[in-house]
Homo-oligomer: A and B are copies of this chain.
Amino acid sequence: MTTSADASTFRTSVSLKLREFAERQASFLAEIDENAAELAAHALSFTEGGKLLRPTFCHAGWLIAGGTQSAERIVTAAAAFEWLQASALVHDDLMDESDTRRGRPSVHREHEARHRAHNLVGDAVQHGERVAVLLGDLLLSWADELFAESQPDQRSLHFWSRCKSEVIAGQYLDVLAQTSARLTVEDALRVVRFKSAKYTIERPLHVGASLAGASDDVLDALSDVALPLGEAFQLRDDLLGVYGDPQATGKPAGDDLREGKRTVLVAHAAELGDPELIYSLLGTEAGAEKLGPLFREWGAVEATEADIARLEAQTDEAIDRLGRDARAILEPLVAKTIHRNR
């Protein structure tokens, strides 16, 4: 039986592990050059204020499969997911040209601003982009380095590798989706499955459970929970990306609309309302202001909330099949994943 105090202890252990690892890397980088050590400091500060969702699900998988609360090995593996997530965010913000992340400038904008502030040689925008490419690469490299420190068996390593490839493939499908005039709800849901559901919930659960020696049956049952839950997670994200409180999300209001993201919410709106109008406004400043109220008027918010409710019910049924102990572990996480304001 896991308590909220246990969960809090685990989160603290993950944060300490990230700090300890970053400090080790900083010392090593400082031997190369003091300036290189800045990269480690920036990487660590970037993880502050994260929800630690993937580490938490990794831990949940471990506990469900009978692992010991907060063992060193699971803390290490779980923390690796946070470097992976940090890498994905740095490169995502670069690809989406996002200005902010967690209420602060995105990495490329931060280094662009530093370039300007110090009046350096060369193009400030290009400089910011270069640093973001490299910092994202470093974080991805760290993710693997830290994961290897958990001494994973072949099966856990397999799930970890799958996780990395799936999120990149999902992002690629998302990039392709942005290049087509139309996107159906079905297409949008496939992007969500790989970019979010497998990456955020299923694979972290699999890695944790696998490290604790779970049977294949348990792994399958975890997938049944993870996929609807992960889709619901992303649909909530889509709604927060348009209607979220900037104070809570750390992103300006309507940011997803400004960036022209092709979400399930947008696909619903296109099926229920005026697709011509949507696609002419999506990705513009005017769109960021006007589309939110229009989507609501056309019933796209209601349709997305209905999807979330349906997915939550599926998640709940799947948890039943895992049994009472698993429910005690998963239920609080489900609530936090689906019902949240950031």
**Contact flags (1/0) for A232-256 with B, using CB distance below 8 Å?**
0000000000000000000000000
Q: Which of A95-152 contact B (CB under 8 A)?
A: 95, 97, 115, 120-122, 126-127, 129-131, 133-134, 136-138, 140-142, 144-145, 148
Give the Cβ gap from A183 to chain B, nearest Cβ, in Å: 10
Chain B residue at minimal CB-CB distance from A179: B120
Q: Nearest Cβ in chain B — how far from A213, in angstroms?
A: 19
- Evaluate contact between A95 and B129: CB separation under 8 angstroms: yes
- B133 near A94 with CB under 8 A, answer yes
The reply to whether A141 and B122 form a contact with Cβ atoms under 8 Å apart is no
Take A133-B94, A140-B140 as given contacts and tell me if A115 and B179 are in contact as well, using a CB distance cutoff of 8 Å.
yes
Most buried by B among A28, A165, A260: A165
Query: Are B94 and A173 touching (Cβ within 8 A)?
Result: no
Q: Output the least CB separation between A136 and chain B (Å).
A: 7
Contact of A180 with B121 at beta-carbon distance under 8 Å, contacts A134-B171, A173-B36 already known: yes
Per the bound structure, the CA–CA distance linking A169 and B94 in Å amounts to: 19
A168 close to B (CB within 8 Å): yes
Closest B residue to A170 by CB, please name it: B32
Interface of A is mostly: helix
A13 at the B interface (CB under 8 A): no
Question: Does A130 lie within 8 Å of B33, measured CB to CB?
Answer: no
A171 to chain B, nearest CB (A): 6
Asked if residues B137 and A178 are in contact (CB atoms below 8 Å), the reply is no
Do residues B179 and A165 form an inter-chain contact, with CB atoms below 8 A?
A: no
Return chain B residues, CB-CB under 8 Å to A214: none
Q: Are A169 and B133 in contact (CB under 8 A)?
A: no
Question: Which B residues lie within 8 Å of A218 (CB)?
Answer: none
Residues of B within 8 A of A162 (CB): 28
A32 near B175 (CB under 8 angstroms)?
Answer: no
Is there contact, CB below 8 Å, between B120 and A169? no
**In the bound complex, CA of A194 to CA of B36 (Å):** 11
Return 18 A-B CB contacts under 8 Å, by A number. A32-B166, A33-B173, A35-B173, A36-B169, A36-B172, A91-B137, A120-B179, A121-B179, A122-B283, A130-B175, A131-B175, A134-B175, A136-B137, A141-B161, A141-B165, A144-B144, A148-B148, A148-B161
- List 11 extra interface pairs beyond A35-B173, A36-B169, A144-B161, CB under 8 A: A32-B194, A36-B172, A94-B133, A95-B130, A122-B179, A122-B260, A127-B175, A131-B172, A134-B172, A141-B164, A142-B165
